[in-house]
Each structure stands twice: as structure tokens, then as C-alpha cells.
A and B are shown apart, each in its own frame.
Chain A
């Protein structure tokens, strides 16, 4: 005997939600937010290395994305597009923090390594993350960002260029310098 077939409503795709959001459906905006909020917070946190400013970066990124939905050619790539916006906002925030710190208007505490690295991470990953996050505050913003995108997010060079809007040559050059600093830093730690 063949049982009744129940047709389940497929989850609305990002493309569909983007289409509805462009027509002013607030529910679609909320669905897009809830679907991608975790990813956005993850990208922002790993780039910032800290909890502070995280909510502002994510809020600003979604605000920008929602205001510019009409510029998104392919709705299904909303997630990747949002990650690019989050990255841009995080870069702005890191630059702004550095400016304020240089002006003595903001104190930068060290990145809290114990709280960043998950407790059951494999030892080699722990070492990698510690090396990167110990160094990043000492790097110029662009080098810091490409290092995190490469070493932590494990993006390819093309993907880093697309994510940051910088040329491939710039990404290679910045990454080269960041890697050099990472090696020096590892040497100091021995």
C-alpha cells in the first residue's frame, strides 16, 4: 500500500525573499535577517576579534543591504553579497577604532584568546588561531583583514579580492606582508 504523499512547502529561497522584500514585504526582510544573522555575526566577530562593536557592524550591514536591495543582481547570492557588506563595515570599524586609539580616545584591550578559541578545537587549529589573533592588532588594517580572511576563513585570493573590493595584486601584496609578520611573530614566541 502506498501512503499518502504530503507535499511540503519548500522553504522560500533567498531569491524569492529578496524579490518580496523589494516589493515592501517586511516579513521577507525579517526572514532574510534571521536566515543570515548568524553568518553575519560570525564574519564580523572573526574580523573584529572582539565582541564590542559587533552588533553595530551587523546592524549597519543589514541596514545597508536592505537599503540597496535593488542593486543586487541575483537574489540567490544575497548571503555572499551580505558577507561583502559585513566585511566592509568591519574594515571601517577597525580603521575607526585604530584612529580613536591613536588619538587616545579609545583603549584597545588585547584580543581575548581564551574566549575566542572553541574549547575542543584540535591543537593545530588552536595554535593557528592563537598566532593570528595575537598578531592582528599590530598589523595595518588591510593586512589584518586579508590575514583573517585567508588563515581563518580560508578564502582563496580571488575570494578575498571579491570580498574586500581590493585588487588581486593588492591582496597578494598585503597577504605577503601579513604572512611575513606572522612568521616573525611565531619566531618571537619560540
Chain B
């Protein structure tokens, strides 16, 4: 008896490898462990952080840590190796708090003084340095940060890797590559109101001066690294905060957030792209993606409908029109806008009579 004939699928060489499978698992593990952002959760995290490993200055001890905040090694002569393998080296008078340190989530606060960080590349791991009311995020970089003065100023020197800086409100302030320095002076307290604020703005300064080897270990006054804004890899538009934003970077960050199981963060970044760069080639796709996130991940059907309409009115809509129009019907149906839903449904049927989604669309918002 002959063996059953194999399917063509069995003759396709799928690039399987244990490394790839492990990589996917690590990302997945990190994504499924990451707590959802919620006010209550944030408060609990903050309370836990207050009890977390707390130490100040060189040679400081590590206090008993909460379950997730474990500093792997504090015995290095010049700093500590965190649980994800990153190394934190505080300057002489630095005040540094390790708020969380697990293989998937590291958060360090620099309240005063200078510190250098060797952040290892780790897919799926979230690494955040809090300093002077901004967040410095990286997936792998070598950098030096210094906080000085009152109100606090921040200066950053990135020796290698990539670093993003964002405000407490989540606005992206800078995107830095190796060799760039950046500083932020006279930061005013950031209001929680969503509307743009009048009055004093942060004064970010970016230079392309290469960070010198060893500079990270030699604390300097903030003003010493502040230079007039010069070259930046790609000239982006100005944001509402008067700070440059790169749409490609926003798009890529949104993708990473979405794939990392952070739909809220992804939506925030996409919305930023759409509003700050409406004429950028990515804005249409970004509106479409944002609408789908609101509909399928964030439970905001009404908001989704608004963004689907924005996507459909974008000059690049031809590329995704059919899907956006079908999704708009679903969003209107789910948000209870029956008349608008029925109109969108009929418009879809007329415009896309052979769409594979027609049957599903036709079932939406039936007449009572």
C-alpha cells in the first residue's frame, strides 16, 4: 500500500527555526505579561514602585523589591546590571530609583545628577528612563542622561542605538540616533488638559555632535551639551509643542506598539501622525489603521467611524477604499448610528458589488 500523497503545502519550505520560535515566544510572553494601562493599575504600580528597589548614588544598596522589580546584580564596582542585562551607572551625586526591573519591563527614574546606561537590545522588553518629567524610551542604546537645576533640566547624549523622548502627555519630543545630543530646559509642569497650552514651552535642543567615547562617564552641566538646533536626519514638521516630529518614526513606533499588544499607545501615535502630518503619504493609511484599532481593540466604534471617514476622504483612499467603507458600516452599526449605517451600507453595495465583504456588510443595521 502506498503512502498518502503529500499536499503541495508539505513541499513548501517554511523557514522554521528554534531561534525564530523562541523570538516570537519572548515577544508574546512580554506582551501578555504587560499590564494594561489603567488609572487604578497605574496607581498600584506607583505604590509598588515607591516600595521598590530604591537606591541613591554610587554603591547604594538595593532595597527589597516587589515581585516584578528585581535588580539582578548590584555588586558591579561602577553600577548595577538589571534583570534584562542592561547596565546602569550612576554618577557621583546621582539620585536614581529603579522602579521596575524584570526581563520584560525596566523603568528607572533619574531625579538628580548624571547616569549612563547600556541598554541591551531585547525585543519585547520595555525600557523607560524617567527624567525631568519626560520619558526616554529605547529598545537598545548606550546613552548618558543628566538632570540638573530646579525646575529640572535634562540633557541626553546618545552614543549608539536609538532613543525616543516623550513628554508626560505622551507627545514625542525627539527621536535620537547614536552621536546626537539633546537637551530640554526650564520645563514647566505639564498640564493634563488635552488642548494645546499657551505660555512657556519646553526648549528642546538637538545637535548632531558625536558623543565622545567615555563622555557618558563624565558628568557635565546641562548647558555644556546644549547647542543650537542643527542637522537632523530627516526634516520633520513642527508639533503643537513646538518640537520636531518625524512621521516615519511615528508610523514605525505605532506599528511596534500595535504588535507589542499596546493598541492604546499605537492609536495615540497614529492620531498624532494624522493630525500633525495630514498631507504625509502615510496619513491615509494611518487613519485607516487608527480606525481599525478603535473598532476592534479599543471598543470605540463611534471614534472608529470618524477615522474611517477621515481615511476615506484622504487622497490615498483608493488603496484601501473597499475595506475602509466596509469597516465604516460596521463601526456605524456598532455605535448605534442606524441611519448613517444604512446609508453607508447602500453606498458600499453600489460601489463594491463584487466585494467579498458584501454579504457581511449587507447583514449590518437591518431595517426594524
Which positions in A face B, CB cutoff 8 Å? 26, 29-30, 33-34, 37-38, 41-42, 45-46, 51, 54-56, 58-60, 62-63, 66, 95-96, 98-100, 102-105, 115-119, 121-122, 125-126, 128-129, 132, 142, 151-154, 164-167, 169-170, 173-174
Inter-chain contact B261/A142, CB cutoff 8 Å = no
Chain B 285-324, CB within 8 Å of chain A: the 1/0 string? 1001100000000000000000000000000101110010
Inter-chain contact A99/B320, CB cutoff 8 Å = yes
Inter-chain contact B8/A151, CB cutoff 8 Å = yes
Q: Which residues of A contact B261 (CB under 8 A)?
A: 63
> In the complex, which of the residues A34, A95, A104, A167 contacts B21, with contact meaning CB atoms closer than 8 Å?
A34
Inter-chain contact A62/B28, CB cutoff 8 Å = yes
Query: Does chain A have a CB within 8 A of B11?
Result: yes
Query: Does chain A have a CB within 8 A of B192?
Result: no
Inter-chain contact A95/B31, CB cutoff 8 Å = no
Chain B 254-282, CB within 8 Å of chain A: the 1/0 string? 00000101000000000000000000011
Q: Which residues of B contact A164 (CB under 8 A)?
A: 356
CB distance from A148 to the nearest CB of B (A): 9
Which positions in B face A, CB cutoff 8 Å? 6-9, 11-16, 20-21, 23-25, 27-29, 31-32, 259, 261, 281-282, 284-285, 288-289, 316, 318-320, 323, 354, 356-360
Once the chains are docked, how many angstroms separate the CA of A151 from the CA of B358? 25
> In the complex, which of the residues B11, B27, B31 contacts A121, with contact meaning CB atoms closer than 8 Å?
B11
Known contacts A103-B285, A166-B356, A169-B359: does B323 contact A125 (CB below 8 Å)? no
Inter-chain contact B12/A118, CB cutoff 8 Å = yes
CB distance from A160 to the nearest CB of B (A): 11
Specify the chain B residue showing the minimal Cβ separation from A101: B319
CB distance from A12 to the nearest CB of B (A): 18
Q: Which residues of A contact B32 (CB under 8 A)?
A: 26, 29, 63, 66
Specify the chain A residue showing the minimal Cβ separation from B281: A103
Q: Which residues of B contact A117 (CB under 8 A)?
A: 11-13
Known contacts A42-B14, A103-B281: does B24 contact A37 (CB below 8 Å)? yes
Q: Which residues of B contact A104 (CB under 8 A)?
A: 281
